[in-house]
Amino acid sequence: MIRNIVFDLGGVIFEIDKRQAIQRFNEAGFADAAQYLDAFAQVGIFGQLESGAITAEQFQQELSLLAGKEITLEGCYRGWQGYFVQLPQCNLDKVLELRERGYRVSLLSNTNPFMMQWARSSAFDPAGHGIEYYFDALYLSYEMGVMKPDRRIYEMMLAGEHALPDETVFIDDGPHNVAAAAALGIHTLQPQDCTAWHIMLEQLLQRV
């Protein structure tokens, strides 16, 4: 029986666009963003930020060195925010509905302080709620010191939730992230867009 539902953030809760993020970093003065940014996992200093190896301030300093010019913290924030396209209200409503039905609902995301500065603020949704209003717990790569698809992040999430793999569903748009969770015995869904998981999840909940 499923008791725990765990969501990725970008690509599942809200729609993302890597190209827009690359453009924003280019506009800030960093012309090589395409070499570092990905839809699922970042590399170089971008990956170091999301794995918690460096702080937001260190990222800004290192990015400025790579760019050969100063890039402000605001420029970094705007660049990362380029990933965000839209947050469908139906996704937030569905998360709340699942909680009302008795499921434990958590977030497991490769993310960073710039994105979470926005997500935890009143700017996250039109009603002025931060992301913590919607989820029972947040498991964030930069706070945990490890990124998906490393198996340790799933094990840490399960331990934090006091959850068994076969009682847990993980929803992520990244194939490697889904495969890593499935290898631990977690039920998985890989939606192709950020609203496709509604029907997929209900079908799974009826089967398991």
Taking each helix axis from N to C terminus, what angle separates 56-67 and 73-81, rounded to the nearest 10 degrees?
90
Q: Write out the catalytic residue numbers.
A: 8
What is the arrangement of strands in the sheet containing 4-7, beginning at the earlier edge strand?
137-140, 104-109, 4-7, 168-171, 187-189
Tokens of 114: 């710039």
Tokens of 16: 């993302």
Residue 99 to residue 12: CA distance in whole angstroms:
17
Residue tagged 């725990």 (tokens): 4
